[in-house]
Structure 1
Amino acid sequence: MSPVSLTERSARVVAAAKLLRLAGRRRAGRFLVEGANLVEAALRHRLAVEVFATDAAMSRFADLLAGAEVHLITDKAAKSLSDTVTPVGLYAVCDRPSASLVDVLADRPQLVLVAVATSEPGNAGTLIRIADAMGADAVILTDDSVDPFNGKCLRASAGSVFSVPVLEAPDSRTLIAELRSAGLAVRATTLDAETSLDAVDLTRPTAWLFGSEAHGLASDVAALADERVRVPMWGGAESLNVAAAAAICLYESARTLRRG
C-alpha cells in the first residue's frame, strides 16, 4: 500500500475520476482502466502510473498486485472511479501509449486497420481486439471516431489497447494518402463492391478501411481506396456486422502475409 496521506490520496482519486471524461483524458494525456484484465495489462506494459484498490480487491487480486504500489480506497471512492454497474474496486491511471503515425509508417507496416467514423465504443474496442489477434501493426481511428480510451472501448478491447498501437487521425482523406505513400494498398469494404475478397492479391501490405456499424463506409471515403472489396456470402444474410467483416478480412490478409 502506498504511504501517502489521506488528503493526498483523496486528491489523487479526484484527479483519476476526471479521466472518466474525454476532456479530462485529453488534458492529462492519461486514461483510467478498471478491472483485473486491464490493470494487469497496464502493469505488464509499464503504462500504469497509479493503482487504486479497495480492501476487497486487494485480497481478491493479491497475486496480480504483488510488487505494485497501490493506493487503498474506500468503496465510495471506488464508485466514483467506475462507469460500470458493479465496480470491482480495482483501477489504474495509465499514460497514453506514445506511438505516432510517423513511427508506425516508418516501421513499414504490413497490416493496418482503419476505423472510419466509428462512433460506438464497443465496436471500436472489438476492432482493436481483432487487429491485435491478427497481428496487425496498428489501428487508426479517423473522421470523428470515438475516443479509444473511454471505459467501454477499453473493456471491449480486452487489454488489446496495450498490445497494438492505437492512433487517431483527424481526416481520412489525408490519412489514406499517407498510408498509400508508405506502400500500403488501401482497401475499402463495401457491400456493392465488384471485387470479391477471394480475388484480392493479399500479398501486398494492406490498410483495410471499415465504416460504422449503422451506416457502413461513406461512398466518398470508399472512392479514395485503391480497391473496393466485398466479403462473399453464400447464405441468406444480407450483410455482416463490422466486427465480423473485419475479422474475416484481417484473417485472410494475415494468413497470406504469414505464408510469405
Structure 2
Amino acid sequence: MPELINPRAERVRSVRALSGRSARSRTGRFLVEGPQGVREAVLHAPRLVRDLYLTQAAADRYTEIVDAAHDAGITLRTGSDEVLDAMSPDAQGLVAVLDHPRASLEDVAARDPRLVAVLLNVRDPGNAGTVIRAADAAGADAVVLAGESVDVLNPKVVRSTAGSLFHLPVVAGASYDDVLGTVRGLGMAVLAADGVGPHDLDDLLDVVGAPGAGQPDLAAPTVWVFGNEAWGLRPEDRDRADAVVRVPIRGRAESLNLATAATVCLYGSARAQR
C-alpha cells in the first residue's frame, strides 16, 4: 500500500502550494516535477533534495532514480496516483521538494568563466528555461537572470530546463549594474543580442581570432545579454554593451524568438572558443 493515499492531506496541500511564488518564498523550497527533472536533481544536486514522492509504478519504472536517491540518503515516500496528481498535474508519477539553490555572481566569478548568458527582463518562463537548457548544452559556465526577469524556480521554468538547472550555476535576482561590474572585472566582453545590431554573427565567426577594427572576437571570454521577448533590450541597456550583434535572417521570417536566437548566439561563441 502507498504511504500517502489522501489527496486532501496537509502534506499534499503543502507540496502543491509550492507551485505558487509566495509559498516558495515563505518556505525556501520549490518543486521539481517529472522523471527528467527529478533524475537530474537527485544525481547532480542531492544536497538540495528534501523529499521525493512517487507512485509505486514510477518506483518500478525508474529504479535508477530510486537507487540514486537511496545512495544519497534522500527520503522517499510512495503515494497513490491521486496523491501525485494532487501534488502536481505534471508529476508523471514523480515529484521532488528541494531547497532553493543559492548561486551568486561571486560563485560565477570563481569558475573563471568563458561563456555566460544573461537574461535581462525576460518574463516568459518557457523561454527562460529553454535558454538555461541551451546554455548548458553549449557548455556555458553560468546563466544570470537580471532585472525584472521571471522567477527561476517557477515550475514552468524548472520543467523547461529539463534538468539543466542542476548542471550549472543559475543566478537569480541580480541587478544589471552588478552583472556588468562582475564580468568586466573578469575581463569578459559584453555582447548584446539585438536584431538591429551593427555586427552580423556570421561575419564575426568568419574572423575569429583576428577580428577587424571595432569587431568583437568571439573566441574571447564572452557574456551574451538577451532582452525581453516583446521589446528586446532597452536602448540604455543595449548601449552599455561592448558591441551589439544580430543573428542574420536569410529567409523571410520577421524575427527569431528569444530562445532560438540565444541558442544560435551561444553555440556561435562555443564554436569560436573551441
CA–CA separation in structure 1 for the residues paired with 2:60 and 2:5: 21
- The total of aligned residue pairs comes to 254
State percent identity of aligned pairs.
43
User: Alignment partner for residue 164 of structure 1, among 150, 163, 168?
Assistant: 168
Residues 31-50 of structure 1, C-alpha deviations (whole Å, 9 max, x = no match): 11111111111110113221
Contact 1:20–1:81 at 8 Å: present in 2 too? no
Contact 1:104–1:137 at 8 Å: present in 2 too? yes
Report what 1:72 is aligned to: 78
Answering whether residue 61 of structure 2 is matched by residue 60 of structure 1, we say yes
CA–CA separation in structure 1 for the residues paired with 2:242 and 2:27: 38
CA–CA separation in structure 1 for the residues paired with 2:58 and 2:240: 50
- TM-score (normalizing by structure 2): 0.85
Report what 1:230 is aligned to: 246
Q: For 1:33, what is the secondary structure of its paired residue?
A: strand
Contact 1:51–1:90 at 8 Å: present in 2 too? yes
Residues 130-182 of structure 1, C-alpha deviations (whole Å, 9 max, x = no match): 00001111100111111111211111111101101111134223322322122
- TM-score (normalizing by structure 1): 0.89
Q: For 1:76, what is the secondary structure of its paired residue?
A: helix
CA–CA separation in structure 2 for the residues paired with 1:20 and 1:118: 20
Q: For 1:236, what is the secondary structure of its paired residue?
A: coil
Contact 1:112–1:136 at 8 Å: present in 2 too? yes
1:17-166 equivalences in 2 (<5 Å) = 17-45=16-44, 46=46, 47-66=48-67, 68=70, 69-84=75-90, 87-166=91-170
Q: Which amino acid aligns with 2:37?
A: L
Q: How has the CA–CA distance of structure 1 residues 79 and 222 changed in structure 2, closer, same or farther, with 3 Å as cutoff?
A: same
Report what 2:190 is aligned to: 186
Report what 1:254 is aligned to: 270
RMSD over aligned Cα atoms: 2.3
Q: For 1:114, what is the secondary structure of its paired residue?
A: strand
Extract unaligned runs of 5+ from structure 1.
Answer: none
Q: For 1:98, what is the secondary structure of its paired residue?
A: coil
Residues 35-85 of structure 1, C-alpha deviations (whole Å, 9 max, x = no match): 11111111101132210012332333334313534211233322221143x
Q: Which amino acid aligns with 2:131?
A: L
